[in-house]
């Protein structure tokens, strides 16, 4: 098979990029090692920045999001009994959209046939070849047969453990990483949220987050040691801990119910640079991971896709090789700023094992400063809604 662009990974980043390229008449094929049902079954992010919403609007695939999504003008930081509301609408004139990643992925998947975006699921043993040449290609296996795709460009949207980043030589790439000493125990339940906006809480017992996927489905988190196991936590224990950490105001409005998903996710900050080598470009988790504090993961992937689509369209339409060459620097400039925000919010809202009285006093002072400074709130709001692309 011969195509202009071969995209590896059919998560939201890969599908979003594929649709953007097909909208410009560029030939592309998407490879995915899992089934479509598996991709849809992954429980992930639910807060969408303006860039993500705008790209869905650009594609004309935002109809269901407009009907079912929850626009938010603000969010809250909690410290003990106090809620510090960050009014994004007033501070920076923007809002975010609460709409589950699963639903966004579904919208992208269901449009593939109509928009002639080819997706090959259950593609095993994916390998990249000759990425430093002008004729790269990808091999994979499916249904007991080996296959090859010749492409002008390969785009890796295949996550942290995929083969794309590993195809870049160690002599070229550099890794930057911070592994955190805790994970987030998440519970998903079909109950109304305790607050109409998100609450990030810093409590002496640890971090908590009250979030939602819809008006009837809630997503809550608490931080736990990395050594903890999900089977050690009953639903009742999680609800009890949430009621303590979120504070009395939120606790009074918590509706308890059986979990439909419960898991522990480790936290890390990670960047791989450069995000392009030869005819290979990286997008999303294949190049960077952010802690979920600040809701940047999916949105950072979307901004990568924005830059990648811009570069690829210039490359295929105008034979502009400089657009491809400049992709990594453009993407990384925003990646580093988003990583900084996620890292700083994680540091502010969590109790680290090595922290003592001084570090705790700094958190208290910072939260008090934020509560009483419009300038500080503007900075947080600007980063939360998403920096300009």
Render pLDDT for 155-178 as a digit per residue (tens, 0 to 9).
999 999 999 999 999 999 999 999
pLDDT score, position 44:
72
Q: Is the dihedral of CA 15, 17, 18, 24 positive or negative?
A: positive
CA distance to 3, 65, 70, per residue, from 31 (Å): 12, 26, 32
Q: pTM surpassing 0.85?
A: yes
Mean predicted lDDT score pLDDT of the chain: 95
Residue 40's pLDDT band (boundaries 50, 70, 90)?
confident
* Topology at the third CATH level for domain 2-46+99-177+268-345: FAD/NAD(P)-binding domain (3.50.50)
* Torsion over CA: 370, 373, 379, 383 (sign): positive
Q: Tell me how far apart the alpha carbons of residues 81 and 84 are, in angstroms, rounded to a whole number.
A: 10
**CA–CA distance, 68 with 122 (Å, rounded to integer):** 31
Question: Using CB atoms within 10 A of its CB, is residue 343 exposed (0-12), middle (13-18) or buried (19+)?
Answer: middle
Kindly name the residue from 19, 262, 288, 296 that is annotated as catalytic: 296
Q: Which residue has the tokens 């906006």?
A: 197
Per-residue pLDDT at 222 exceeds 80 = yes
Q: Is a pLDDT exceeding 80 seen at residue 42?
A: no
Q: Please report the pLDDT score of residue 183 as a whole number.
A: 96
Residue closest to 151 by CA, chosen among 321, 327, 316, 331: 316
What integer pLDDT is reported at residue 294 of this predicted model? 86
Question: Of 301, 248, 240, 298, nearest to 275 (Cα)?
Answer: 301
Q: Which tens digit of pLDDT belongs to each residue from 62-104? A: 999 999 999 999 999 998 778 999 999 999 999 999 998 999 9
Alpha helices in 247-326 (DSSP H): 248-251, 297-318, 321-325
Q: Is 200 a catalytic residue?
A: yes
Tokens (6 digits) for 262: 């419960």
What are the residue boundaries of the structural domains of the chain, listed by start? Answer: 2-46+99-177+268-345
Cβ atoms of 86 and 384 within 8 Å: the answer is yes
- Alpha-carbon distance 99 to 215, whole Å? 10
- Of all helices (H) and strands (E), which one includes residue 66? helix 63-68
Integer Cα distance of 308 and 330 in angstroms: 9
Which residue of the set 200, 220, 307, 327 is catalytic? 200
In whole angstroms, give the CA distance from residue 151 to residue 137: 6
Under DSSP, the state recorded for 230 is G
Closest CA to 120 of 234, 249, 6: 6
Cα(77)–Cα(291) distance, integer angstroms: 17
72 annotated active-site: yes
> Could you read off the pLDDT of 175-188 as tens digits, one per residue?
999 999 999 999 99
pLDDT tens per residue, range 235-245: 999 999 999 99
pLDDT reported for residue 220: 96
Q: Which of 292, 306, 347, 350 is catalytic?
A: 292
**Residue 362 neighbours by CB distance under 10 Å:** 13
Mean pLDDT value of segment 380-388: 95
Average pLDDT over residues 238-265: 95
181 is catalytic: no
- pLDDT of 365 reads 95
CB proximity list for 286: less than 8 A, separation 6 or greater? 9, 156, 157, 158, 159, 160, 162, 164, 165, 272
For the cut 90, the answer to whether the pLDDT of residue 43 exceeds it is no
Among 19, 72, 203, 347, the one annotated catalytic:
72
Per-residue pLDDT tens for 126-136? 999 999 999 99
């Amino acid at each position: 098979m011969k195509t202009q662009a071969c995209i590896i990974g059919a998560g939201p980043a890969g599908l979003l990029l594929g649709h953007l390229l097909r909208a410009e008449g560029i030939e592309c094929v998407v490879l995915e090692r899992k089934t479509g049902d598996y991709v849809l079954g992954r429980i992930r992010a639910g807060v969408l920045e303006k860039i993500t919403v705008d790209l869905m609007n650009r594609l004309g695939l935002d109809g269901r999001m407009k009907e079912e999504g929850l626009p938010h003008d603000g969010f809250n930081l909690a410290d003990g009994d106090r809620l510090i509301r960050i009014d994004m609408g007033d501070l920076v004139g923007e809002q975010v959209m609460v709409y589950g990643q699963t639903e966004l992925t579904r919208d992208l998947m269901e449009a593939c046939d109509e928009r002639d975006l080819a997706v090959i699921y259950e593609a095993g043993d994916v390998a990249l070849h000759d990425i430093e040449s002008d004729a790269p290609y990808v091999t994979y296996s499916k249904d007991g047969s080996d296959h090859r795709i010749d492409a002008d460009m390969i785009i890796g949207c295949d996550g942290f453990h995929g083969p794309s980043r590993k195809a870049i030589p160690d002599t070229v790439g550099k890794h930057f990483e911070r592994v955190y000493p805790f994970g987030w125990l998440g519970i998903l339940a079909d109950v109304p949220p305790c607050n109409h906006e998100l609450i990030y809480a810093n409590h002496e017992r640890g971090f908590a987050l009250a979030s939602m996927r819809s008006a009837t489905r809630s997503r809550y988190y608490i931080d736990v040691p990395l050594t903890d196991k999900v089977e050690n936590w009953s639903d009742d224990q999680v609800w009890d801990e949430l009621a303590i950490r979120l504070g009395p105001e939120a606790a009074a409005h918590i509706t308890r119910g059986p979990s439909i998903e419960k898991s522990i996710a480790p936290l890390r900050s990670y960047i791989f640079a450069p995000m392009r080598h030869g005819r290979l470009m990286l997008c999303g988790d294949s190049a960077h991971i952010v802690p979920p504090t600040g809701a940047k993961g999916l949105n950072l992937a979307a901004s990568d896709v924005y830059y990648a689509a811009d570069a690829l369209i210039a490359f295929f339409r105008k034979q502009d090789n400089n657009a491809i060459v400049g992709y990594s620097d453009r993407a990384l400039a925003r990646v580093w700023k988003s990583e900084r925000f996620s890292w700083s919010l994680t540091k502010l809202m969590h109790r680290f094992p090595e922290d003592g009285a001084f570090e705790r006093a700094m958190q208290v002072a910072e939260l008090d400063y934020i509560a009483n400074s419009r300038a500080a709130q503007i900075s947080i709001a600007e980063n939360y809604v998403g920096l300009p692309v």
